A and B are shown apart, each in its own frame.
Chain A
């Protein structure tokens, strides 16, 4: 079965590239269109993390980062103190 698929070039079909590229680009488009999505995510993350440690909200950074094959949510959250 595998060899037949390869024979028919399923994997390199250009439509698969179209689908993959679209999915990636839309992650970004959608995040920026729905203004406030990243803001409210950041706000909620702050609340959850604050239960466990003291963090620096002013310098907290949450953003989407598009790679070639995937998109990652990158968070940089300076910790001031761990709660006990």
Chain B
């Protein structure tokens, strides 16, 4: 087997990389793909709590690269979803405790066993970013529809080229249809035109993300979550299916309808 290594990155912090990594990973596992999530955010471990696996950590990424344990020992198997594993970040070590070459080696080893290796990248473009992208074959760039996040995403797209990742995929997160409708938030086309990379999906701003994070159960496994549906669509697209982009135009207001009618 030769799996695919995908880094999930953004530049700007707090836009939803960890949430996206947890949901896509869980979604792939639900579809029967053997998937491992690597938390590369050393010192700011988070993917474990989002996945609800924080109580099961024994070894971490640094233990693996320093060979304090076998790779197999550090992988936490998710009991709810077959095929799903987590390699947690170290919480206490220094950020530069891992080198890019070690990440490449780790990814190569995991490729032999897994269909998908997803790497949750830390914010920024320093050491942690370089480690996270070193072994990646492809990238998913997460942004929110605001000026600073899109600007940082653009910077990341440029930097990824130097790592020979030339076709990164875009996820636009936390879109608020009400604000888009009022003209107070950039819409999918605006962001997509500016960044000009392949659009992988659009995730609405949704309270169910917060609820599911509280519980440690990714929203993708909740059939009633809208964000979960968006992530299921993203997973299907990663798997090569053609899924139409979700319309975020539910409950159009009265004036909006008149305006659209007149515009035709």
Interface residues of A in 21-77 (CB under 8 A from B): 21-23, 25-26, 29-30, 33-34
Whole-angstrom distance from the CB of A63 to the nearest CB of chain B? 19
Name B185's contact: one of A15, A23, A25 (CB within 8 Å).
Answer: A15
Interface size class of B (residues with CB under 8 A): 20 to 34
In the complex the two chains form, what is the Cα distance from A9 to B158 in whole Å? 35
Question: Is A4 close to B, CB under 8 A?
Answer: yes
In the complex, residue of chain A having the shortest beta-carbon distance to the beta carbon of B255: A8
Number of A-B residue pairs, CB cutoff 8 Å, is 50
Assembled-state Cα–Cα distance A1/B259 (Å): 10
Contact of B259 with A22 in the complex, beta carbons under 8 Å: no
Interface string of B140-164 (1 = CB under 8 A from A): 0000001100110011001100000
Secondary structure type dominating chain B contacts: helix
Complex Cα distance A23/B195, Å? 10
Cβ-defined contact, B182 with A13, below 8 A: yes
Are the CB atoms of A15 and B190 closer together than 8 Å? yes
Instruction: Select one of B159, B187, B190 contacting A33, CB under 8 A.
Output: B159
Complex contact B186–A30 (CB within 8 A): no
Q: B183: which of A15, A22, A26, A34 is its contact (CB, 8 Å)?
A: A15
Q: Is B1 an interface residue (CB 8 A)?
A: no
Q: Please name the residue on chain A nearest to B259 by beta carbon.
A: A8
CA distance A4 to B259 in the complex (A): 8
Would you call B186 and A15 a contact (CB within 8 A)? yes
| A16 neighbours in B (Cβ, 8 Å) | 183
B184 beta carbon closer than 8 Å to chain A: yes
The distance from the CB of A7 to the nearest CB of chain B, in whole angstroms, is 9
Q: Are A34 and B146 in contact (CB under 8 A)?
A: no
Roughly how many angstroms separate A38 CA and B239 CA in the complex, as a whole number? 40
A-B contact pairs, 24 of them (CB 8 A): A1-B263, A4-B262, A10-B183, A13-B182, A13-B183, A13-B184, A14-B184, A15-B180, A15-B183, A15-B185, A16-B183, A18-B146, A21-B147, A22-B150, A22-B194, A25-B151, A26-B151, A26-B194, A29-B151, A29-B155, A30-B154, A33-B155, A33-B158, A33-B159
Q: Given A1-B263, A22-B194, output 15 extra A-B contacts at Cβ < 8 Å.
A: A1-B262, A13-B183, A15-B183, A18-B186, A18-B190, A19-B194, A22-B150, A23-B194, A25-B147, A26-B151, A29-B151, A29-B154, A33-B155, A33-B158, A33-B159
| Interface residues in chain B, defined as those with a beta carbon under 8 Å from any beta carbon in chain A | 146-147, 150-151, 154-155, 158-159, 180, 182-187, 190, 194, 255, 259, 262-263
